[in-house]
Amino acid sequence: MSSPPRVDFPTSDIDDIEMDGPQDGTIDQSLSIAPPPQRLFLPGTPSAAGTPARQRYANSVTATPMSGIAARRALGMSTPRRAPRTPLFAPGSSPLAFPSSSPTKTPRRRVAIDSDPAFPDSEPLAFPSSPAAAFATPVKNRRGDIHSSLSLTPTARPSRRGEYNNDLSDNLNSDGTHLSIPASSVPHLSAPAAPSDEPDEIRAIWGTTVNLAETMKLFRDFLRGFKPKYRSIHDRQENLRTRAFATPDEGEVVLYETYMRRIRQTGETNLNLDMINLLSYPPCKKLFAQLQKYPQEVVPAMDQILKDLMLELADEDQQAGMDGMQGDQGDEEIADIMGKVYKVRPFGLTAVNMRELNPSDTDKLISIKGLVIRATPVIPDMKVAFFRCLTCAHTVQVEIDRGKIEEPARCPRDVCGSVGTMSLVHNRCEFADRQVIRLQETPDAVPDGQTPHTVSLSVYDELVDVCKPGDRVVVTGIYRSVPVRVNPRQRTMKSLFKTYLDVVHVRLGTGGTLGLDRSTRPAGGDKVPGIGGVGDSADDQELEEQIAQGGLTRKAELEAKLIDISRRHDLYDILARSLAPSIWEMDDVKKGILLQLFGGTNKSIARGGGGGGPRYRGDINVLLVGDPGTSKSQILQYVHKIAPRGVYASGKGSSAVGLTAYVTRDPDSKQLVLESGALVLSDGGVCCIDEFDKMSDATRSVLHEVMEQQTVSIAKAGIITTLNARTSILAAANPVESKYNVDLPITRNIDLPPTLISRFDLLYLVLDQVDETLDRKLAQHLVGLYLEDAPDTGGYDVLPLDELSAYIDYARTNIHPVLSSEAGDELVASYVSLRSIGASDPRSSEKRITATTRQLESMIRLSEAHARMRFAAHVELQDVQEACRLMREAIRTSAMDPRTGKIDMGLLNTGTGVGQRKMRDDMRRELLTMLDSGAGKGKGLKWGEAMKRLAEQSSIRVDTAEFSEVIKAMENEGVLTVVGERDRRMIRRVEGA
């Protein structure tokens, strides 16, 4: 900080000369800074300046190298040999950008001012008292998000100079301050201090004790010194779970230098900065508070430091001869960096509810979360207006100030001075992308009984179009209150204020309580698309999530509590009991659903085909079939409440579109948009479908794809796409005749295709049986529930809903059990024994299929879920045993052949059980005999008569449906034909068959 006074920049005029770089003048100047090899680099300049794409960066080109030097000097480092090139870049770019304001056209003025690339002319206009302000302007790191105050507080500039000639109380500094003060109608919006010549004051943010130079130094230290270990120390202090480092070295990496190199390599310009990292780096605690309180000053300062450091780092790397940074290549890189505007995008503050924002937060950095409900199209936002005098063609640029452009009333040229001749030249103005977004409170944040509030967000540049209506976002931004003019024609303002947020960082997709299964998302998929900035992001995701959910310590407390619960010996029972405590009994059903909520782990074969190989679902699907009035819907509703991303749909009411995705025309944009339905919405969660049997076939057919492939394919209105629907399905259905007929197999009782039924891992029959003791208990439970004041919850000790929900969420995100070899053996054994139940039956000659590989997969999933519930890293014997028990329970009720009393998975998989198949064979044999025997020979048999005769022979009733099945099968084989319609059908034997 104590670089020697620099005599080489005594006045602003000279600075300007240097900036616009008339060759002769500059050399002297630059010579004084460093040795003069700049001429050597001349060939490099045209490329930087000549590319049209760089035009917009012209301003910063001029500005930043200076600051680079400044920074270096401030650190007392040796001045790099590259520094003097600076002036060479500037001249190249400025004439290109502003050809008309070349020095020759306005000879009257000091050369410096007129030719200054940015908008030197605006200064004298706006602040006639400080004509020497020219130098100040070149810092045009215009950020939309900070813009309204940037013009007031060119903090980067004064502070930079503060560092760079901080012992020089030259008039440069005072220029800077002259510049900002008059504009700040709102004093506390801060600007560099009063127009005094004392450098100390200049470096402070107005009205505070914050010393900008110090702030910048702190941030520089931070970028140069922060290592992940600080974060883990901090997290430990806050009792947070910390990520373990693979090697001790990992904690010692200078994190932000890595990021900066990555920025350079990828050509990014954004650095996402997790503010918690600031807090955990001991020297920077102060900076955290400053950034929160004075973002408009601190953020530009940070941008500046980032750029300085980028250059510095590039230089170091070049010196070190790093790969890709050697010689000319390195020079090019550095030139490239100079041409860029770097932005620090801070985030990581605790998100508050938008209701809690109040006027005292004005101009502070805050973070809120919400739901995007509307986004305007991109609005070109004028950043710099370009005026030309109609009389003398003198040009002037005016920067936006608090959202409006002050039109110059008269030509600033003394000679001309004509009033009202300044006209706007549109194509010479500078514009930025801007978008206004309406953010609404998410349902979980709204106080009970109130309707949600909305707040406006202004997003700029790269953040435009990052969020779409419907997204849940956490935004970090600066809260603004701006006076409103009640009548636009009136010049005065009334004491009404509108508030909005200038957004600096957007993070998409925090579902609040609706945690989603992260294993369903590709790694890093949660990174903000579009701004893809380098820096802290996905890794910190979980921690942020915790912060977002309110308070670090509370989360830690909860976690400790959950782990406590997981150690209880009656864990399984208490969790099952806590699930829908108002529903009596049905323990196994509850346990099955509980395991569904935990879910198995999703597996993909990494070395399989392309794209990581196929993925095996870990989602467990459960179907409840049962008599009406057995509280199936209640269970579903309950699950919907606690499940991560739970979606509830009633089969009756939902059309195919409701359950999948549909195409509509967006009312605002008139564009076709794809709106996803329940299944896609519940991606990574549980979809509860009530009245499953009443769903239309078309809708149900969609489920085939969803339940095994876990995708939804859409081909509508020209949009063909496949959406992910990695969802567990919990469905409830009533039997066909509303009451379950125990004499019929389950497939006949539920009107569902067997292919669909077999996709359910667990199928429970919830039957209403008359049993005195059960009835008595049920009555007791209900009477207690509906008549007494303290409802009996079906158990003494249950977890409250939110705790259960938190427990499940925690397990799903953090526990990923793998099979132990012991468990694997047990699974094999159980599967074999399940299959052999049918095979080893001595009474029967034919084999029954009792279990298929689908059941094996289900068993694996269930055991994983059980292990997950125990917070165990490995699937153990007990998990498999419980999974098998549940499977057996479910199979016993659903796959039991009512005729034989045996378990037969064939019933579920093909819809016909062994007994049924045997009966059909008999029927077929008899029918053939009948046809071949005397009566029907030749002309065939009447349908009705065949039925009647079969019934006479058979001891059990002949089912019409069965009969037609048999006939159909024989027809397909070509053994017989059916002619005629309905009652007049004739069955004929095909000759020669």
Partner 1 sequence: MVSAFLIDAINNPTKVVQELFEEHTGDVNQFPAVVARHFSDVFLNSDDTLREVLPLDMNHSPESFTHRSLVRFHGMVQDTSPSPEMYLASLNENKCGGWGISQNTPASEWPSSFDYCDLREATTLWAVTVPGQTDWRTEELTDRLHCGSSSSQSPPQPHKFPVPNAPHIGVQVKIYDNDAAQLLKATDVVTFIGILTSESLDSEADSSPMVPSLHVLCHKLQSTGDAPHTEELATVREDLIKWIADEALGGDEDAAQWLLLELSAKVYTRTTPLLPPSLTLSRFPSPTPSSPALPTLHHVLSDLLAQYLTVPLSLDLLNTENFSPESKDEDLHSGYLQVPQGTVLLLTENGVREGKLVEKGIMNIRAVQEVMDAQTLEYSFPFSKFSFSTDIVTIVLCDGRKSAFFQTGFTVPLETKPLLKDNLYKPRDQIKIPDTVKLAAYRSFLATAKCCFGTVQVAEETSRHIQEDFVRQRQEDSSITADDLIHLMKVARLLAASMLEREVTVDIWERSKRLDASRKKRSP
**Which residues would be at the binding site for partner 1 (CB under 8 A)?**
185-186, 188, 358-360, 362-363, 371-374, 438, 440, 442-443, 446-455, 469-470, 481, 484, 486, 488, 490, 492-499, 582, 627-630, 653, 768, 770, 772, 775-776, 778-780, 782-789, 791
Q: Judge contact between 273 and 344, C-beta under 8 A.
A: yes
Cβ nearer to partner 1, comparing 322 with 736: 736
CA distance 763 to 759: 10
- Indicate the SS3 state at residue 743: coil
Q: Of 449 and 611, which CB lies nearer to partner 1 in the complex structure?
A: 449
SS (H, E, C) 828-888: HHHHHHHHHHHHCCCCCCCCCCCCCHHHHHHHHHHHHHHHHHCCCCEECHHHHHHHHHHHH
Nearest distance in Å: CB 455, partner 1: 7
Cβ burial 969-989 (10 Å sphere, 16+ → b, else e): ebeeeebbebeeeeeebbbbb
Closest distance of CB 450 from partner 1, Å? 5
Q: Which of 534, 380, 507, 537 is nearest to 439 (CA)?
A: 507
Cβ closest to partner 1, residue 169 vs residue 454: 454
Q: Considering the complex, what minimum distance in angstroms separates the CB of residue 236 from partner 1?
A: 38
The least distance separating partner 1 from the CB of residue 742, rounded to whole angstroms, comes to: 13
* Beta-ladder partners of 801: none
- Gap between the terminal Cα atoms of the chain: 105
Our CB check for partner 1 shows the closer of 655 and 933 to be 655
Q: Quick one: tokens of 418?
A: 């004509």
SS3 content of the chain, % helix, strand, coil (to 5): 45, 15, 35
Of 564 and 789, the one with the shorter C-beta distance to partner 1 is 789
What letter represents residue 981's amino acid? E
Nearest CB to partner 1, comparing residues 262 and 485: 485
Beta bridge partners, 399, equal: 384
Backbone angles phi, psi at 552, to 5 degrees: -70, -45
Q: Which is nearer to partner 1, 518 or 739 (CB)?
A: 739
Report in angstroms how near the CB of residue 373 gets to partner 1 at its nearest: 4
Going from the C-alpha of 732 to that of each of 596, 692, 704, 710, 936, the distances in angstroms are 14, 6, 16, 20, 48
Which residue number, 443 or 974, has a Cβ lying nearer to partner 1? Answer: 443
- Smallest separation, CB 359 to partner 1 (Å): 4
Please name the residue that has the structure tokens 């009447």.
Answer: 942
Task: Select 366 or 862, whichever has its Cβ closest to partner 1.
Answer: 366
Specify the residue, 775 or 973, whose C-beta has the smaller distance to partner 1: 775
CB of 531 to partner 1, least distance (A): 22
- Residue at 455: amino acid letter: V
Backbone angles phi, psi at 336, to 5 degrees: -65, -45
Closest separation in Å from C-beta 529 to partner 1: 19
> Are the C-beta atoms of residues 42 and 49 closer than 8 Å to each other?
no
CA dist 145 → 85, 364, 434, 458, 480 (Å): 31, 13, 9, 8, 11
Q: Identify which of 965, 978, 861, 880 has the alpha carbon closest to the alpha carbon of residue 919.
A: 965
Q: How far apart are CA 244 and CA 234, in angstroms?
A: 14
Report d(CA 15, CA 8) in Å as an integer. 9
What does the alpha-carbon distance between residue 164 and residue 184 come to, in Å, rounded to a whole number?
26
| Least gap, CB of 454 to partner 1 (angstroms) | 6
DSSP secondary structure letter of residue 685: S
Q: How far is the CB of 443 from partner 1 (least distance, A)?
A: 5
Residue placing its CB nearer to partner 1 in the complex, 287 or 766: 766
Q: Which is nearer to partner 1, 71 or 678 (CB)?
A: 678
Q: Between residues 494 and 984, which has the closer beta carbon with respect to partner 1?
A: 494
Least Å distance between CB 619 and partner 1? 25
* Nearest distance, CB of residue 637 and partner 1, angstroms: 9
Minimum CB separation of residue 583 from partner 1 in Å reads: 10
CA–CA separation, 102 vs 115, rounded Å? 5
Q: How many CA atoms lie within 13 A of 411 on its CB side?
A: 19
Closest distance to partner 1 from the beta carbon of 632 (Å): 12
- d(CA 120, CA 137) in angstroms, rounded, equals 6
Q: How many CB atoms lie within 10 A of CB 670?
A: 7
Q: From the CB of 499, what's the least distance to partner 1, in Å? A: 6
3-class secondary structure for 572-638? HHHHHHHCCCCCCCCHHHHHHHHHHHHCCCCEECCCCCHHHCCEECCCCCEEEEECCCCCHHHHHHH
Nearer to partner 1, 248 or 796 (CB): 796
Tokens of 435: 């978008």
Identity at 923, one-letter amino acid code = M
Nearest to 109 by CA among 91, 132, 81: 132
CB of 749 to partner 1, least distance (A): 18
CA nearest to 301, candidates 87, 182, 484, 143: 143
Distance of closest approach, residue 354 Cβ to partner 1, in angstroms: 9
Q: Which is nearer to partner 1, 42 or 742 (CB)?
A: 742
- In terms of CB distance, is 349 or 445 closer to partner 1? 445
Contact at 8 Å (CB) between 379 and 362? Answer: no
In terms of CB distance, is 633 or 814 closer to partner 1? 633
Three-class SS of residue 153?
A: coil
Q: How far apart are CA 539 and CA 531, in angstroms?
A: 17
- Provide the minimum distance between the beta carbon of 85 and partner 1 in the complex, in angstroms, as a whole number: 44
Rank residues 254 and 673 by Cβ distance to partner 1 and give the closer one: 673
